[in-house]
Structure formats: structure tokens, C-alpha cells
Amino acid sequence: MAEIAASIRNSVDLFLAAVKTSYPLTAAYLYGSYAKGTATPWSDIDLALILRTFLHDPYEDQVSLMRLAARIDDRIEPLPFTEDTFTPNNPLVYEIQRYGIPWHDESLASDKPRKISHV
């Protein structure tokens, strides 16, 4: 597993905390170059967000999440899915599930969400 810098962990944690105040977040994965250990100073922070449901039109929610991310760290690139669409028959989801780093998964706690440990 790739080592994730404290500044990146902090940005992800702040962003996910903000997301949870408005969206029904059930899981989140860090994927892409940070998960693979190939990040450069110019890399974005790819985050897959799994929501119970979209609040509005998927495009509108995508834009709202991108605006929220930009206020916290402009490198964050959120990509929302619903639980129904986050399936391994989608090639990107397959890659996220295979190589991504689980950051938050509500299903691991019986009474409340908890952050999955990560490097």
C-alpha cells in the first residue's frame, strides 16, 4: 500500500467530513496515483464517493461536490457513485476496488461510520 502524506490525509479527511454533512456517504476510496504510489507534485487526489443515493441530478451533485472539494483542496477530484452503480462490471469501479485505498466504509461499523485505517 502506498504511503500517503499527512497533508493529503488531512485534506481527504476534511473533505469527507464536509461531504457527510450534506450527502448520504456510505464509502469512499482513494484511487489513482496516490493509491498506486506514483503521485507527483502535480497529481490530483482522486476520490470515489459511494452515496446511498444522489440528492439531485447526478451531474448537479458532481458539480456541487467539485465546488466543495475546491474550497478544501483544489487537487481533490471527487467522483460520485450510488451503491447501485458502484459495481465491478464497470471497468473504473473494478480498478478502484482492486487498487484503491478504502478511506471510509459505513458497513464496517454497526452503529456509526468509521474511517478505515490507512498508511
Q: Is the dihedral of CA 114, 93, 45, 17 positive or negative?
A: negative
Choose between 90 and 114: higher pLDDT: 90
Domain ranges of the chain: 24-108
Work out the average pLDDT over 49-65. Answer: 96
pLDDT-derived band of residue 111, with 50, 70 and 90 as boundaries?
A: very low
Q: What is the pTM of this model?
A: 0.86
Q: Is the pLDDT of residue 60 over 70?
A: yes
Distance, in Å, from the CA atom of 60 to the CA atom of 57, rounded to the nearest integer, reads: 5
Q: Is the pLDDT of residue 113 over 70?
A: no
Cα 14 versus chain centre, distance: 12
**What per-residue confidence (pLDDT) applies to 110?**
40
Work out the average pLDDT over 72-95. Answer: 96
CA dihedral 101→107→112→117, nearest 10 degrees, is -20
Work out the average pLDDT over 9-36. Answer: 97
| Residue (of 4, 71, 80) closest to 43 by Cα position | 4
Work out the average pLDDT over 5-32. Answer: 97
**What per-residue confidence (pLDDT) applies to 105?**
75
Of the options 3.90.226.10, 3.40.50.720, 3.55.40.20, 3.30.460.10, the CATH number for the domain spanning 24-108: 3.30.460.10
Distance, in Å, from the CA atom of 92 to the CA atom of 31, rounded to the nearest integer, reads: 10
At 102, give phi and psi (nearest 5°): -60, 130
pLDDT-derived band of residue 40, with 50, 70 and 90 as boundaries?
A: very high
Work out the average pLDDT over 18-42. Answer: 96
